[in-house]
Amino acid sequence: MKLFSAEQIKRIDAATIEREPISSIQLMERAALACVDWIEDYYEKDVEFHIFCGMGNNGGDGLALARLLNNAGYNCRPFIVAHRSKGSAEFDHNLSRLDEVELNVHYINGLKEMPRVNENSIAIDAILGIGLDKPLRGIIRDVVKGIEEGYDHVISIDIPTGIPADFTTVNWNTAVRASHTLTFQFPKLSFLLPDMGDYTGDVHVLDIGLDELAMEEEHSTYFLTMDEEVESFRPMRKVFSHKGDYGHALIVGGHEGMMGAAVLATKAALRSGAGLVTAHVPSCGRDVLQISAPEAMVQTDHSERSVSNVPVSSRISAIGIGPGLGREHSVFKGLEKLLSEIELPVVLDADALHLIGTSQAWHLIPQNAILTPHKGEFERMLGREVESPLELLQEASAWAGDKKCIVVLKGAYTAVCDSDGNVYFNSTGHPAMASGGTGDVLTGIIAGLLAQGITPIRAARYGVWLHGCAGEEVAARRGEHSVVAGDLIDALF
């Protein structure tokens, strides 16, 4: 799914109105009906909606929603935040239509006019939409603060008032903290950054039938990886086939006291569909691997405690390097030799990235290699801390372009950055995955997919999607506090 800036969304709206054809009022009605459908699925009729409307088109959405919710049998009280002297044409139209259902409108000019809240009150935020380009001030800021102080449950329409729709460096200071955001057609770019998570709540994308051709015509370098797309990445298995047809992954990792990371990556590579998997580990890890992952082959290093020299068989089709590898100089020398000799798809994680970074040996990274850092690891790669999530994303994208590699910036909505400047945000995952070892599982998944001949960018995108799906499934069964990395492996596919 393409993601668009606020300006692009306005153009797509305009194209929809022109080509369908449909009036802007009718499109607003369609959006409000989509919100009603969602609300009817989620709420009983015993709640009271306090609908806060600005005087622009987002407020028009709110007024249309008030009328339709009233028709559906809900108790609604619309409040107009009087932040300007004149409303938009769409706002005025929907305001006049409230006479049809005899809904009384209340104007808010100051905090003393905020409604009384009871235990069944739910705020609906339809004050400002995607056009915001400066911090809130005046009556809007006061009302937003009043909503935060007065309501436990808030629904924002399209976007929480106060946050920008685009990636921006604007220093916004106050915003609605929504429990749910009902956003139209696609998530807004800003929703995908960590500092917005406390404001958007659960994001629900509502299809309002915007013009498909208009969306196709708009250029974007930002995408959200969706289920229907990545399912086509899945390698197909033929009836007449054998294990050799599905690749041979080599996992290089493990160190005395950290052999579990290599075990997790090895088992994940097996579970992701690789026909064969070999783990190269220090001699001390041989028994651990053979007992923990009997389906894998084990290749032991000459060193007892750490990896120092990795012979690569001609049968190997992809390599995953880094889980539990250790950080000694001897390990770096072995890694340096390995990377200088191979011409295979490779995924680099954890200690592999640390070793290359501390030695500033980025020239060792093969073209199209997949790097999987989290925020702290990427900052170590940069050699400095970044000031904001936006800067982190921009640096990761620039890094991928400069080094001709793929950077998988792990986190909520993991960002897969390719060397052409495209960024693919992942749509799966769960906070329960914030647990040691889950990154090692991801390394194994991607290595297993690479071994099967999937292109690096598809392996990265499909890998993080599968990883997130497994996390969601396990969290649903075990609860968000009880998930450990090994749980994800059995939940793959």
- Which residue ranges make up the annotated binding site for (6S)-NADPHX? 57-61, 129-135, 158, 261, 324, 374, 440
Q: What is the pLDDT of residue 403?
A: 97
Q: What is the pLDDT of residue 56?
A: 97
Task: For the chain, give the percent of residues with pLDDT over 90.
Answer: 96
Q: What is the pLDDT of residue 197?
A: 86
Q: What is the pLDDT of residue 460?
A: 99
- List 155's β-bridge partners, or say none: 124, 180
Q: What is the pLDDT of residue 309?
A: 97
Pairing between β-strand 370-371 and β-strand 75-81 as defined by DSSP bridges: unpaired
DSSP string, 88-144: -HHHHHHHHHGGGGTPPPEEESSGGGSPP--TTEEEEEES--TT--S---HHHHHHH
* 16 membership: H or E segment, kind and range: helix 6-19
Confidence of residue 493 (pLDDT cuts 50, 70, 90): confident
Same fold flag, 6-218 and 229-490: no
- In angstroms, the CA 440 to CA 262 distance is 7
Cβ 345 vs Cβ 247: under 8 Å: no
Q: Which residues of 33-60 are buried (b: 16+ CB within 10 A; e: fewer)?
A: ebbbeebeeeeeeebebbbbbbbbbbbb
* 75 membership: H or E segment, kind and range: strand 75-81
* CB contact set of 20 (below 8 Å; sequence gap of 6+): 211
Query: What tokens appear for 379 in the block?
Result: 């900052």
Cβ 427 vs Cβ 231: under 8 Å: no
CATH 3.40.50.10260, applies to 6-218: yes
Number of H helices, E strands in the chain: 17, 17
> Would you say residue 81 has pLDDT above 90?
yes
- In angstroms, the CA 472 to CA 428 distance is 7
Hey, where are the domains in the chain? Answer: 6-218, 229-490
Q: What is the pLDDT of residue 422?
A: 99
Q: What integer is the mean pLDDT of 11-26? A: 98
> Would you say residue 80 has pLDDT above 80?
yes
Q: Tens digit of pLDDT for each residue in 22-61?
A: 999 999 999 999 999 999 999 999 999 999 999 999 999 9
What sections of 324-388 are H helices per DSSP?
329-341, 350-358, 375-382
- Which residue ranges make up the annotated binding site for K(+)? 58, 125, 161
Q: What is the pLDDT of residue 171?
A: 72
- In angstroms, the CA 397 to CA 382 distance is 12
Query: Which of 143-147, 171-175, 411-415 is predicted least confidently?
Result: 171-175
Confidence of residue 238 (pLDDT cuts 50, 70, 90): very high
Q: What integer is the mean pLDDT of 474-479? A: 97
Higher pLDDT, 116 or 231: 116
Tokens 């940069």 -> residue: 382
- Which residue ranges make up the annotated binding site for AMP? 410-414, 439
Give which of 81, 222, 42 is closest to 161, Cα–Cα.
81
Tokens 């305001």 -> residue: 95
Confidence of residue 252 (pLDDT cuts 50, 70, 90): very high
Q: State CA 211 to chain mean position distance.
A: 25
Q: What integer is the mean pLDDT of 154-169? A: 95
SS (H, E, C) 189-201: HHHHCHHHHHHHC
Q: What is the pLDDT of residue 305?
A: 98
Query: Which CA distances in Å does 293 have to 240, 265, 388?
Result: 26, 10, 41
Task: Record the pTM.
Answer: 0.96
- Which residue ranges make up the annotated binding site? 57-61, 125, 129-135, 158, 161, 261, 324, 374, 410-414, 439-440
Q: What is the pLDDT of residue 221?
A: 98
Q: Which CATH class is domain 229-490?
A: alpha beta
- In angstroms, the CA 133 to CA 7 distance is 12
Neighbours of 264 (CB within 10 A): 30
Q: Tens digit of pLDDT for each residue in 320-379?
A: 999 999 999 999 999 999 999 999 999 999 999 999 999 999 999 999 999 999 999 999
- In angstroms, the CA 4 to CA 16 distance is 15
Q: What is the pLDDT of residue 424?
A: 99
DSSP string, 265-293: HHHHHHHTT-SEEEEEE-GGGHHHHHHH-
Q: What is the pLDDT of residue 465?
A: 98
| Exposed/middle/buried for residue 413 (C-beta within 10 Å: 0-12, 13-18, 19+) | buried
Mean pLDDT of the chain: 97
> Would you say residue 249 has pLDDT above 80?
yes
